[in-house]
Amino acid sequence: METDRILLRPWRDSDAEALFKYASDPEVGPRAGWPPHKSVEESLNIIRTLFHNPTTWAIMLKATGEAIGAIGYGPSCDCQLPAHDGEPIVGYWVAKPYWNQGICTEALTLMLEHIKETTDIPSLISGHFIDNPVSGSVMEKCGFEPTGETCIDETQYQGHNRPIRVLRLNLT
């Protein structure tokens, strides 16, 4: 999946340094609910575990060959969002130096085209913390519609409930 400036491709072990450089930024992970990476070894382990599946991709900037973000979809069973049975959840992040250049919107558009072409998935769910409206802008630009709000008990990172705005995209 590609456009003039980005390529969505599987993560590689050799992305570990770039992943650590960008995912150790405290401005990135906590907005999506995960803690900043603490070492290159941790980033490598995440590439080999969490990212090692056919529906998670590195967002690679063609001009540099560097992985500057991640995007994917997968089972929503652990996400605490009000998903329909079997409805996948969408997630993404982009490295801070590349924010507000339309890269995430471009990556999500590519992934949605891929999902429509290769699956029969009828709908997708996603959500963003209320205090992270930029993520909602990306979803809405790609056709997601708000369905309400919920709260997850995110003890791992914040230790208290954080309200989430939930959005759904119907693909049928």
Ligand X SMILES: CC(C)(COP(=O)(O)OP(=O)(O)OC[C@H]1O[C@@H](n2cnc3c(N)ncnc32)[C@H](O)[C@@H]1OP(=O)(O)O)[C@@H](O)C(=O)NCCC(=O)NCCS
The one among 46, 92, 110, 111 contacting ligand X by CB under 6 A: 92
> For residues 121, 125, 126 and 130, what is the CA-based torsion angle, rounded to 10 degrees?
160
Output the smallest distance, CB 92 to ligand X, in A: 5
| Residues numbered 110-139 forming contacts with ligand X, rule: CB under 6 A | 128, 132-135, 137-138
Q: Measured from the CB atom, is 29 or 45 closer to ligand X?
A: 29
Q: Measured from the CB atom, is 120 or 157 closer to ligand X?
A: 157
In angstroms, the CA 42 to CA 44 distance is 5
Using CB under 6 A, which of the segments 2-10, 27-35, 44-52, 78-86 binds ligand X?
Answer: 27-35
- Pair 51, 13: CB distance under 8 Å: no
In angstroms, the CA 92 to CA 72 distance is 6
The yes or no reply on residue 28 touching ligand X (CB under 6 A) is: yes
Q: Measured from the CB atom, is 3 or 100 closer to ligand X?
A: 100
Structure-block tokens of residue 84: 């329909």
The yes or no reply on residue 22 touching ligand X (CB under 6 A) is: no
- Find the length of the chain: 172
| CA–CA–CA angle 24, 129, 88 (5° rounding) | 90
The yes or no reply on residue 99 touching ligand X (CB under 6 A) is: yes
Q: At 67, phi and psi to the nearest 5?
A: -80, 120
Output the smallest distance, CB 33 to ligand X, in A: 7
Start-end of H helices in the chain: 16-23, 29-32, 40-48, 103-118, 133-141
Output the smallest distance, CB 129 to ligand X, in A: 7
Output the smallest distance, CB 124 to ligand X, in A: 13
The yes or no reply on residue 102 touching ligand X (CB under 6 A) is: yes
Instruction: For residue 20, give the DSSP letter.
Output: H
User: Which residue ranges make up the site for ligand X (CB under 6 A)?
Assistant: 28, 31-32, 92-94, 99-105, 128, 132-135, 137-138, 141
